[in-house]
Structure 1
Amino acid sequence: MELPALNGISYALTIDRENSIDKTQASEPDRFGYSSIHYIASYGGQRDTLPEYKRFAGMKLEIQVRTLLQHTWAALDRRLRYGNDSAVPTPIKRKLYRVSAMLEAVDEDLTEIDERVSLLRQEYAESVKAGKLKVAINKDSLEVFLQESTTVINLVSAAEASGLSVPTFSGKIDEDDQRYNRLIPLLNAAKIDTIGKLDAILNDLVSSFEEILKLFWEDDMPRLSLSVYALIRVLLYFSRDEFVRDVARRSGGFVGATRLRINNAYEQLA
């Protein structure tokens, strides 16, 4: 049976494909909640020879993969505790069928949106690599640009070589969203609305970036960690575009010692 790969799990398990089943392919019209994929698996490779796993030798496990809405329907079905279809009162059955249909429609739409986002990110990455940067700035296009742009990669490498720590992304959604939400209002205020405009501003700073770093950061200072979003905000303070520079100084969002370092570096460069 052709089943989707279990990324991040299958490396440690041996999937019994003969006994695994994809119930999404054979579900009844009213059985949305049961449209899950059931994997039968066991520990494989050398793992089952390790002392801590020996007690699981020869044992099988089942992994059910379903969407959040499929799980919601299954949980509701269990809560109602109707043993079979004939036990469901007709008025309730009609309502359940309608709810099932709505959940399935929403589930399909959300899946399509997720696939569309993945496709857009791939298109953004290809555009950045090809130098086609007339792309509107949004969360996904900006994230891809910060990951794929040679200019950004070189700036981050230079910053880290000077002693700064510049993590690209934390992997924590809330934390990365917060950093994005600090940068995007600044870009909007500075009328930087495309990836191309941001790239041009950063490219203008490449030649002076080393000097900016020396003025902003000294070897005897405690190690400072700036996200890549924050590094871009710092660089906007030094833009050759006077309007962008003034907006950054008014709305950059830095306070305390970091703001003082930026101001000192800016005054020395002026």
Structure 2
Amino acid sequence: MAIPFFNPDEVILEYKNNLKAYDLFEKILRANIEKVVAQIVEDGKIAKDSYEIKSRVKTPESLKGKITREDKIYVYKYPLREITDLVGAKVMLISLNDEEIVFDALEKHFKNYIDYKNSPDKTKELWEQRKFGYSGRHLVLWYSDDMLNGLSNELKKEAKNYDLSEFRAEIQIKTLLQHVWAEIEHKVRYKAQEFLSTHRKRAFDRLAALTELTDSLFKDLINKEEEFFNTLNQALNEVSPELTTHPQEKQMDDETKKEQIKQNADAKLKNIEISSEAIKIYVANEFIKDCFKRLQSEHLIITYDEEPNTVNFKLIEALYLVGINDINSLHKLLSDERVIKVLHAYAQKESQKIENKLMLQKLSVLQILIYAYADLNQKETIKKKHLLYENICSAIDELQKDM
């Protein structure tokens, strides 16, 4: 029988004696990752709540289990120098798009310290082998004092007490789906140290394929949403009357050109159906904010710069009920003098009750305009289904009796 190159107990003892140094490296590594990702968020490349960072130092128990496994004990000569994930971090993202952005940023930030030999691109390997399985991107890094740049004085002071020059760490950048798959595969396929039957291997491969397909479809969905966002905003901006003439079109009359562009924009808006996401984009558009601003009166203040977190499905149902099922129709509602008159009358009446100006959010303004726009049958249905606030409905019913 072959003899191991090392004594596991001696390795674990040495590791325990250096745990404070590994803990320090983990803090330095995490601080660097957090700094990079925070900058990405600040630049608007990924959303604030779209990621999670985890980091850890391998426990002595976990290390002992790894180096004493039958498939490892005869492989390592100097485990503490050869194992690259004694310090590890994971950055988990919602989408493949975010994964690519974060990986590129971290690779650029750590470019001078990357151990490329031990930093496999699992995704690229699977594609080249035409296989399915764990995909994700790993970066193995050597420690460098340069990692202390921009960090707290406390960490810099602590780092002077240790020699970290031979330390390495592994960062895994993956989607949440890839993370879940890796956890399942690791615990069932590897931790159990079992030889899986052909049937179970095939089941794993099928699950891996579904995971990859789901990530890919989610990436397509996000790309479609970004395309939708850009298309809607472009159309809304073209509706704006404050348009300038392009140099090559100076021969066209300004008013004629504006009207032509507006007609094209109207056609685009007709093709965008009402949805929660569409309304959120609509009310956040700078031109539309200005439209809400112009709806203000001596009795009414509209918080036109405040964006809603969600758009309730009841508002969407109410819009469809009154026949407003595309963004163009919704936009026309904001310039309908008949319903605007009701809005201002409602604001005047309510402001008298509170002895101050009435303050409304944009979605509340839309609720009033929708109900004022509805016919009698539609109003009854709105009230029966409780699609809008009952007190608003009642107040507008009273006002419209006298109009």
Q: TM-score, normalised by structure 1?
A: 0.70
Distance 2:321 2:330 in 1: 13
2:212 to 93, 104, 113: 104
- The residue type paired with residue 313 of structure 2 is N
Per-residue CA deviation, residues 1-35 of structure 1 (Å, 9 max, x unaligned), is xxxxx653557997313428544233455463242
1:247 to 372, 378, 388: 378
Q: Contact conserved, 1:237 with 1:248, CA < 8 A, in 2? A: yes
Q: How does 1:1-270 map to 2 (within 5 A)?
A: 8=38, 10=40, 15-18=109-112, 19=114, 21=119, 22-27=121-126, 29-30=130-131, 32-36=133-137, 38=139, 46=150, 48-49=151-152, 51=154, 54=156, 63-82=171-190, 87-131=195-239, 132=265, 133-135=269-271, 136-148=273-285, 150-156=287-293, 159=296, 162-163=300-301, 165=303, 167-170=306-309, 176=310, 179-205=311-337, 208=341, 210=344, 212-218=346-352, 220-221=354-355, 226-239=360-373, 243=375, 247-248=378-379, 250-251=381-382, 253-255=387-389, 257-263=391-397, 265-267=399-401, 270=403
Distance 2:139 2:355 in 1: 55
Q: Contact conserved, 1:32 with 1:100, CA < 8 A, in 2? A: yes
Distance 1:49 1:215 in 2: 57
TM-superposed deviation, 1:80: 0.8
Which structure has the larger Rg? Answer: 2
Per-residue CA deviation, residues 149-184 of structure 1 (Å, 9 max, x unaligned), is 6245432575598345564213xxxxx1xx330211
CA change 1:61–1:232 in 2 (3 A) is farther
Distance 1:117 1:88 in 2: 41
TM-superposed deviation, 1:229: 2.3
Q: CA RMSD in A?
A: 4.1
Q: Contact conserved, 1:164 with 1:223, CA < 8 A, in 2? A: no
Q: What count of residue pairs does the alignment treat as equivalent?
A: 252
Q: TM-score, normalised by structure 2?
A: 0.50
Distance 1:154 1:62 in 2: 52
Q: Contact conserved, 2:236 with 2:287, CA < 8 A, in 1? A: no
Return 56-65 or 249-258, whichever deviates more: 56-65
Percent sequence identity over aligned pairs: 16
Return 200-209 or 190-199, whichever deviates more: 200-209
Distance 1:78 1:111 in 2: 25
Q: Which runs of 5+ in 2 are unaligned?
A: 1-35, 43-104, 240-264
Per-residue CA deviation, residues 61-117 of structure 1 (Å, 9 max, x unaligned), is 755332232122101112214269994443322222222123212221222122112
